[in-house]
């Protein structure tokens, strides 16, 4: 039996429509017309149709592609560029010149100054004529160690005083009462009657890690002027000091070379991180001038805290 072909290579045409008919003639495509070129042409037609329907998006994508291709070399160069040491150094110098860094001593001063007070002990007059009504005053410094108004100072600043006055950093003045003493370390503990609403207590730090050469500042009221700050280093540890009259011997002291003068007594010795490590108590001077020659002494804060009844570090 003869097989019926599935398709024929001979073009098959439909009969011509009757005369007067408006229907267009259609031709049945052959296998040759439905090969690959025909498929591609139809795909191209579909693509053109899609582009026509989304013309704006097509142009936007094309523009982005061109921009990316145009900027690619510069991106590569930018990623591969590594700044030199000279460029880094120059940039750092320019930045520091525009905004200089605050010194470590200035930062330490700011950290402790709210806790530093001026201490004045008023003593009876030694003049024979009481009508004069004159009084002697001993001026020193103190540091707030508890925010309820407990202050450390030197015993020799307030010893024998009939009245003790304290002036806070805010300018507020208050009378103070002597509540404890530690004569072997020349320390006195005061309690004020009035205090600022937001009184700052100093941060204390153990002297365990303190070493000669560490930078420190001494804050106080030398000769009543202040508050003043002076900078130096720790010169030595576990020093001993004997008063010129030989009546007082202090041991286990911190030696420092930050300038200290009468009036600094009782003030804090402060590290560069703003922590109090000692209470300034004496200066060494072989003359009667009572001025600083480069050697000062401070009681370690461990002893000072013990005088105030605070737990050890």
User: Which residues, at least 6 apart from 187, have a Cβ–Cβ distance to it below 8 Å?
Assistant: 152, 153, 154, 155, 181, 279, 281, 299, 303, 304, 307
Residue 156 designated active-site: yes
Residue 275 designated active-site: no
Q: Which of 85, 82, 91, 200 is nearest to 151 (CA)?
A: 200
* Catalytic hit among 115, 138, 174, 186: 186
Residue 265 designated active-site: yes
Active site residues: 156, 186, 265
């Amino acid at each position: 039996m003869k097989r019926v072909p599935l398709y024929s290579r001979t073009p098959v045409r439909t009969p011509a429509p009757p005369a007067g008919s408006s229907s267009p003639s259609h031709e049945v495509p052959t296998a040759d017309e439905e090969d690959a070129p025909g498929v591609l042409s139809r795909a191209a037609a579909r693509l053109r149709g899609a582009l026509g329907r989304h013309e704006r998006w097509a142009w936007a994508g094309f523009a982005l592609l061109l921009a990316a291709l145009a900027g690619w070399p510069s991106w590569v160069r930018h990623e591969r560029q590594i700044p030199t040491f000279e460029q880094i150094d120059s940039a750092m110098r320019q930045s520091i010149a525009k905004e200089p860094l605050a010194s470590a001593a200035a930062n330490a001063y700011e950290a402790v100054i709210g806790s530093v007070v001026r201490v004045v002990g008023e003593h009876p007059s030694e003049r024979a004529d009481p009508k004069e009504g004159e009084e002697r005053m001993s001026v020193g410094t103190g540091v707030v160690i508890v925010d309820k108004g407990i202050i450390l100072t030197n015993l020799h600043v307030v010893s024998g005083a009939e009245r003790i006055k304290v002036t806070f950093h805010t300018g507020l003045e208050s009378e103070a009462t002597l509540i404890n003493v530690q004569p072997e370390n020349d320390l006195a503990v005061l309690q004020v009657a009035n205090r600022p609403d937001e009184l700052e207590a100093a941060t204390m730090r153990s002297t365990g890690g303190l070493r000669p050469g560490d930078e420190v500042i001494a804050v106080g009221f030398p000769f009543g002027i202040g508050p003043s700050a002076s900078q130096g280093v720790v010169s030595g540890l576990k020093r001993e000091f004997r008063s010129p009259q030989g009546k007082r011997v202090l041991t286990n002291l911190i030696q420092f070379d930050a300038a200290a003068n009468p009036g600094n007594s009782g003030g804090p010795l402060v590290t560069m991180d703003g922590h109090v490590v000692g209470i300034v108590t004496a200066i060494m001077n072989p003359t009667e001038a009572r001025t600083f020659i480069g050697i000062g002494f401070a009681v370690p804060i461990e002893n000072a805290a013990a005088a105030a009844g605070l737990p050890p570090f």
